[in-house]
Chain A
Amino acid sequence: MKYLIHGGTILTDKGIVKKNIFINNKKIVALSDKNEDFIPDKTINADGKIIAPGIVDLSTQVFSLKDKDQINFETEINAAVSSGVVAMCCYPDTNSELDESGSIKTILQKSKIINKTRILPVAAMTKSLRGEELTEMYNLFETGCVSFSQAYKGLPRLDVLRKIFQYSKTFDLKLWFKPLMKNLRKNGVIHDGKISTKLGLVPIPYLAETIAVSTLLLFAKDTKSSIHISSLTCKASTEMIKQAKDEGIAVTCDVSINNIHLQDDDIGNFDTNLHLNSPIRAESDRKAIMEGLKTGVIDAISSDHTPLSIDKKNLPFAQTIPGASGLEFLLPLGLKWAKETGSSLDQLFDKISINPSIISGLNPNKIEVNKEATFCIFCQDHEWQVKEKDILSAGKNTPFLGKKMIGQNFFTFIEGRLVYSKEKVY
């Protein structure tokens, strides 16, 4: 299929250019004003729109949905592709532990059949995520997992963790962590501060995260391993990571859109959509995260997409399952961050496309001649309101319900195929 995309503003390595994009088969064959020999099968008018590298989401929990059938899996992929997300990392969960190669194989096959947003499975580092015995890490890696994690189950026992670092280092496998000490979190549900005190909800202290971060940094230093720490929530963690980076420890990290834009005050009268795995903390933490992204201490922004059915959220706060739907808000909330911090679109796409690709070991999606055409076309001024009925994900659980968003994706290309279009294509 040959496509001509005209009128758009393109984010390239060499800065912003206004050219037409000519696609033939999988690749971009030309970026130019004219190409008279090229007869497109379809033409897309991208007037007033931005064309940017396809988004890569470093953290999703699509297996939080109990029905793991293809319909739901496909629903989440459709939500991703509609939002310009071309690849997403999926963490293991109690429903789908991803601790043996069969489960990784099944996911990769499903992803291949649906053939839209690429699924990058994050395998369990310990059997049944119990933190006691190592999984067959090399075998899982050969099957196609992108990295290894304990997801939100907390750090493994420290002697086991040490073996994980040593064993994975043998094969240079990627270790990704959600920084969490189980026995300090216990049954905590929100940030430890004036709101937990006011609402009488069991708090999650900073130490539940900061002890995990410092432990991981010490292990990384000891084994000279590179690690990725996902879904940071607090200022102290960003400070430790800055110091580690300055010392030359190979660490990268991401934060979720929720922790960039929300603070614990927003929980109001027990809004259960703010019961999250990475708790929304104080305003000072939020500001430190905004700033950490700007200075480069924080490498990436993720959606931490956790779709849940309504009955998992329509319960007393502490009884609800933590997590929020996020895929469809990654782009607009990323744009909001850029606007609020005076960051450029380039800087934003470093956080939601280029860096996540590098962290996942993928070739970054770049809009260049002879590269695969994998990009999204969005309007950065388009205003819309978050309405339950418009959310494509099966999870309608978002703290941004009813909120105004600015910026919307209109078209998504993956390897030269138009996999999503909001407007008609001629």
Chain B
Amino acid sequence: MKNNLKKKEETKLQHLLSINELSKNHILEILELADSFLPITQRGVKKVPILRGKTIFNLFFESSTRTRTTFEIAAKRLSADVINLNIDNSAQKKGESLIDMISNLSAMHADMFVVRHRHSGASHLIAQNVQKHISVINAGDGGHSHPTQALLDMFTILKYKRKFTNLSVAIVGDILHSRVARSQIDALSTLGTNDIRVIGPLTLIPKDIESLGVKVFSNLRKGLKDVDVIIILRLQYERMRGVFLPSEEEYFRIFGLTKEKYSYAKKDAIIMHPGPINRGIEIDSEIADYKNSVILPQVSNGIAVRMAVMAILGVNK
């Protein structure tokens, strides 16, 4: 079973668990297909019959608005039947194990699970325990991975910058708790971006992050110097057990993105954020709504990218 999880250069994907398993071609194929899905989302009848008759379970063990909704919309636009499971009311609360729950749902003839879980590796565990015809999409597992977010970010970067090579990208903030940052770094590296910077206080930078091919900056202005893309991350208070920061105010003063700090980046640098944004903590309102902010297009692109991922996994069987 574990072989399914390895990087496959030429073979078809069964699951999408992390960017690590994708080749450059896999990523480009997904982005290309997403691009072809964009017009569908602007049509009167926003549906294609690619996944008609397929049943997709949205299993969100951790709260989410944006991701869950965009996955649901994406699945419906592909004509799949979507079941949203309210995990709070489910048998997990009654002590049923994750694996037993998955076995039961599989017995209901599921074709795909979209999983968000607060623990790293939960999607891998599920993927190791499902039958061959079932696909698992990781919609965020602990601090590990959030591959569809990274893919939609790559899609957005490609839309605005038209390239991945000769590009400077800065990721700012809570890198330690961020599954998004890890996936973005993996995706950018795979696509050939060689100037990836992470910026934040050292309490929020994980050890040996340089081994992932990034440069660490503790000074926001220096880190933003001449970058093409700025990705601001949310401070994840829900994952912060212990003392990581003295106060939100001090954080904002030093690491919050303001127009003045933005001026160190290239003139046409785009501003991205995976959401939800905390105005006045990691980003100033003025800059969040600035003309070069692509935060809302990211959300729209999310639907097309998730359609592409589901379509590829759904027809690979």
Contact = CB atoms under 8 A, between A and B. Distances in A.
B207 A317 contact: no
Contact of A200 (B5, B144, B208): B144
A198 B182 contact: yes
Among B117, B121, B129, B141: residue with most chain A CB under 10 A? B121
Nearest to B145: A200
A316 B125 contact: yes
Among A187, A201, A205, A269: residue with most chain B CB under 10 A? A269
A42 interface: no
**At the interface, is chain A mostly helix, strand, loop or mixed?**
loop
Interface in B112-149: 117, 119-122, 124-125, 129, 141-145
Contacts of A380: none
A318 interface: yes
Contact of B119 (A192, A198, A318): A318
Contacts, number: 76
A194 interface: yes
Contact of B211 (A197, A200, A318, A319): A197
A319 B2 contact: no
B206 A203 contact: yes
Given A186-B242, A197-B208, A319 B99 contact: no
Contacts of B91: none
Interface in A179-200: 186-187, 192-194, 196-200
Contacts of A270: 120-121, 124-125
Contacts of A340: none
A202 B5 CA distance: 22
Contacts of B182: 197-198, 200
A199 B120 CA distance: 7
Interface string B73-107: 00000000000000000000000011100000000
Nearest to A190: B120
Given A269-B124, A316-B120, A200 B142 contact: yes
A308 B252 CA distance: 46
A398 to B, nearest CB: 16
A362 interface: no
A198 B121 CA distance: 11
A200 B143 contact: yes
Contacts of B145: 200
Interface string B136-170: 00000111110000000000000000000000000
Contacts of B142: 200-201, 316, 318
B282 to A, nearest CB: 19
A114 interface: no
B202 interface: no
A311 B124 CA distance: 16
Contacts of A32: none
Given A201-B143, A269-B2, A269-B5, A192 B121 contact: no
Contacts of B212: 194, 197-198
Contacts of B99: 314-315
A202 to B, nearest CB: 8
B143 A192 contact: no
B241 A200 contact: no
A112 B182 CA distance: 55
Interface in A294-347: 311, 314-319
B209 interface: yes
Contacts of A196: 206-207
Interface residues of A, number: 23
A187 B142 CA distance: 14
A318 B120 contact: yes
Contacts of A200: 120, 141-145, 179, 182
B97 A315 contact: yes
A197 B99 CA distance: 26
Given A186-B241, A200-B182, A317 B119 contact: yes
Contacts of A316: 98, 117, 119-122, 125, 141-142
Among B129, B144, B242: residue with most chain A CB under 10 A? B144
Interface in B170-201: 179, 182
Interface in B262-289: none
Interface in A241-269: 269
Contact of A317 (B98, B120, B206, B209): B120
A319 B5 CA distance: 21
Contact of A194 (B117, B144, B211): B211
A269 B182 CA distance: 15
Given A315-B98, A317-B121, A197 B144 contact: no
Contacts of B5: 269
Contact of B207 (A197, A199, A314, A319): A197
Contacts of B209: 197
A1 B207 CA distance: 61
Among A186, A196, A199: residue with most chain B CB under 10 A? A199
Among B182, B206, B209: residue with most chain A CB under 10 A? B206
A31 B206 CA distance: 61
Closest 6 CB pairs of A and B: A200-B143, A270-B121, A316-B119, A200-B144, A194-B211, A197-B206
18 contacts: A193-B207, A194-B208, A196-B207, A197-B207, A200-B142, A200-B144, A200-B179, A201-B121, A269-B2, A269-B124, A270-B121, A314-B99, A314-B125, A316-B120, A316-B125, A317-B120, A318-B120, A319-B119
